[in-house]
Amino acid sequence: MSNSSVVELLKVGLGDEAVIAKIKGSDASYDTSTGALIALKGQGVSSAVIAAMIEAANRKAVAASEALSVDSPDPAVPHASGVYMLANWLSQPRMIGIDATTSNQTKTGGFLGYALTGGLASMSFKAVVPGNSAKAVTGSPRPTFYFYFDQANRGGSSAVFNAGAVTSPQEFSLVKFTVKDDRREAKVGKFNIGGAKAGVMDKDRIPFSATQLRPGVYEIRPDAALLAGQYGFMVQVTTGGGAGMSGMGAMSSKIFDFAIAPAAGSSAAK
């Protein structure tokens, strides 16, 4: 449907009610500029039909503005729920979506020391991520990230952030992974004679700043430059068992991983 097709329908004798019903039920592209509306009125189109055309054009514009983008670098553009890293692609800025990885495997370390000291030495627990490198890679030592939570989009509930249970970047810890052959590891707890501590220790957290741009949308930047290596935003999503070692071993983490590439010309890049 267009301006001309509306005029043609009216000219063959269809009443306003029938034409308005057609406008509401059809995909259309209407010119609703001031000059076009004056022209429609001059061709005998009623105010009720013109109003229906304007309403249809406005609905289409709103729908287009609310379409979820997957790579627009503009944080004001709605995106699907998730974590995005701002990067350059062919010299153009774009957002790269970071797929969530769930680490259900928890590896223990320091067990011998724990056993030999009767629990005085701590035994560590590490979240394990398969693969020795993240897919999302940037050369910037202080990359910018955007977190889009479910409430950013009307009806946009998803399982990306554990079905809406996580709603703030402050619930995440930014950590650096240690690469071991075909996996990456990060410490997520410890256990000794004094008890168990679940979650990333303060000394292992990398500080970052979060700025809320609008409800459900945050801009994230590390407070300092990051060295080349493997990193990730980690949130503990479930735990099982008690406060002892069995409970620590059942810990599950959701991780949004990324890599900082070595600077060109550095020994690590050669």
DSSP secondary structure letters along 87-146: EEETTEEEEEEE-EEEE--EEEE-HHHHHHTTTSSPEEEEEEEESSS-S-EES-SS--EE
| Contact call for residues 45 and 19 (beta carbons, < 8 A) | no
The type of residue at 154 is R
In terms of C-beta density within 10 A (0-12 exposed, 13-18 middle, 19 or more buried), how is residue 172 classed?
A: buried
pLDDT band at 127 (very low <50, low <70, confident <90, very high): confident
95-111 pLDDT, tens digit per residue, is: 999 998 877 555 554 44
| Contact call for residues 84 and 95 (beta carbons, < 8 A) | yes
User: In Å, how far from its chain's centre is CA 6?
Assistant: 43
DSSP for residue 150: G
CA trace torsion 110, 115, 121, 122 (10° rounding): 50
| Secondary structure of residue 160 in the 3-state scheme | coil
Check residue 97 and give its pLDDT: 92
With a CB cutoff of 8 Å and minimum separation 6, the contacts of 65 are: 78
| Contact call for residues 29 and 41 (beta carbons, < 8 A) | no
57-94 pLDDT, tens digit per residue, is: 887 766 655 567 778 899 888 888 889 999 987 778 99
Among 32-46, 68-82, 209-223, the minimum mean pLDDT is found in 68-82
| Secondary structure of residue 208 in the 3-state scheme | strand
Measured over the CA atoms of residue 27, residue 32, residue 36 and residue 38, the dihedral's sign is positive
Residues in a beta bridge with 69: 79
Residues in a beta bridge with 101: 255
Cα Rg of the chain (Å, integer): 27
User: In Å, how far from its chain's centre is CA 56?
Assistant: 31
- The pTM score is 0.63
CA distance 226 to 150: 29
DSSP for residue 91: T
pLDDT at 120 over 70: no
CA distance 14 to 159: 49
pLDDT averaged over the chain? 79
pLDDT band at 197 (very low <50, low <70, confident <90, very high): low
